[in-house]
A and B are shown apart, each in its own frame.
Chain A
Amino acid sequence: GNSVTQMEGPVTLSEEAFLTINCTYTATGYPSLFWYVQYPGEGLQLLLKATKADDKGSNKGFEATYRKETTSFHLEKGSVQVSDSAVYFCALRRYSTLTFGKGTMLLVSP
């Protein structure tokens, strides 16, 4: 079946540090890949997505590249801000079903 594995948290960084949150997946066929963000007390919001191999999704300074050869979709940001503190979920989608990773909490301190 489909599955998503992402790194355990929390990830603790200082403001302006470089961020990487690893995500790898197992899936049949060619899934679409997503990163969602959940701020405290809010629902999940789509952060970025990529629908085919070598596509790069980007939004709000975050980037992730769909790597089929390594079945990965790592999330990166060059300089994090305190306001980026949230839980980040990697997910894949085949047809109508979304499969999520466990989520990684990011804590950014001033």
Chain B
Amino acid sequence: GAVVSQHPSWVICKSGTSVKIECRSLDFQATTMFWYRQFPKQSLMLMATSNEGSKATYEQGVEKDKFLINHASLTLSTLTVTSAHPEDSSFYICSAAGGAFDMNTEAFFGQGTRLTVV
């Protein structure tokens, strides 16, 4: 399958600072990228969907001003957690898909980023 690389794998930051997480598709052009959040012993919850060159579509309850998503190129999307607080500590996972995203298109996942805010 295609490769999606997420960086960093883990990060610790101080409360009030911002953290950027990168998601790269290494061998295909990702027209659609998804960002998920996973709390311990919980499901992956979709935060937002982004299409290259367009504004991200956020799921209900996700603060767009806190979780800034940029999908400026076909191989890179970034998630910036602004003014992070301890409750933002979580596991963040990106997913990417190429071409026209329909029922038969497979999405490939990054390895995830463990964010700890202290």
Residues of A at under 8 Å CB distance from B? 4, 32, 36, 41-46, 51, 89, 93, 95-103
Contact = CB atoms under 8 A, between A and B. Distances in A.
Interface stretch (B68-76, B78-86, B106-114): B106-114
A44 B43 CA distance: 13
Contact of A101 (B1, B6, B43): B43
Nearest to A5: B43
Contacts of B109: 36, 43-45
Interface residues on B, range: 20 to 34
- Interface majority SS on B: helix, strand, loop or mixed? loop
A43 B43 contact: no
B43 A97 contact: no
A41 to B, nearest CB: 7
B101 A96 contact: yes
Contacts of B62: none
B46 interface: yes
Interface string B1-43: 1001010010000000000000000000000101000000111
B44 interface: yes
A103 B45 CA distance: 12
Nearest to B97: A96
